[in-house]
């Protein structure tokens, strides 16, 4: 069956350090992979989209990689700040007609000042 796995443990890091989150998937051949941020009591907010033919994508302090051979995406937050504390979700887009996203359970990041 299809499965999406993110870091099961919450991530606690010191301000200024780089947070690295992992998203692994099995039995999928996604055309696209997306990352979202979710704060408590709020809906997820779209951050980045990376296509299967792209190796890396950057947006400000965020960097995403996508390795279709390893079936893995890495999400990096550089120069982390306490405001980056949130749950981060990866989502896979299967090449089909309906553009439905399947989401991972998320990784909670806490950045200490």
Partner 1 sequence: GAGVSQSPSNKVTEKGKDVELRCDPISGHTALYWYRQSLGQGLEFLIYFQGNSAPDKSGLPSDRFSAERTGESVSTLTIQRTQQEDSAVYLCASSYPGRFGYTFGSGTRLTVV
Binding residues vs partner 1 (CB under 8 A): 31-32, 34, 36, 41-47, 49, 89, 93, 97-106
Q: Name the residue nearer to partner 1 (CB basis): 25 or 36.
A: 36
Q: Name the residue nearer to partner 1 (CB basis): 28 or 32.
A: 32
Q: How far is the CB of 74 from partner 1 (least distance, A)?
A: 19
| Sign of the C-alpha dihedral computed for residues 49, 47, 72 and 15 taken in this order | positive
**Cβ neighbours of residue 52 closer than 8 Å, sequence gap 6 or more:** 30, 31, 32, 33, 66, 68
What strands lie across the sheet with 3-6, from one edge to the other?
3-6, 19-26, 72-77, 62-67, 56-59
Q: Name the residue nearer to partner 1 (CB basis): 33 or 111.
A: 33
From residue 27, give the alpha-carbon distance in Å to each of 39, 57, 67, 68: 29, 24, 14, 12
Q: Name the residue nearer to partner 1 (CB basis): 34 or 80.
A: 34
Q: How far is the CB of 39 from partner 1 (least distance, A)?
A: 10
Q: How far is the CB of 24 from partner 1 (least distance, A)?
A: 14
Q: Which tokens sit at 63?
A: 């960097």
Q: How far is the CB of 98 from partner 1 (least distance, A)?
A: 5
């Amino acid at each position: 069956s299809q499965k999406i796995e993110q870091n099961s443990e919450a991530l606690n890091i010191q301000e200024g350090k780089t947070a690295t989150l992992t998203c692994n998937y099995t039995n999928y051949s996604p055309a696209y992979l997306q990352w979202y941020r979710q704060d408590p009591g709020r809906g997820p907010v779209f951050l980045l989209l990376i296509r299967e033919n792209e190796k890396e994508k950057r947006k400000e302090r965020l960097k995403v990689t996508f390795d279709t051979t390893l079936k893995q995406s890495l999400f990096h937050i550089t120069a982390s700040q306490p405001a980056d504390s949130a749950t981060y979700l990866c989502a896979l887009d299967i090449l089909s007609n309906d553009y439905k996203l399947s989401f991972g359970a998320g990784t909670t990041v806490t950045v200490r000042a």
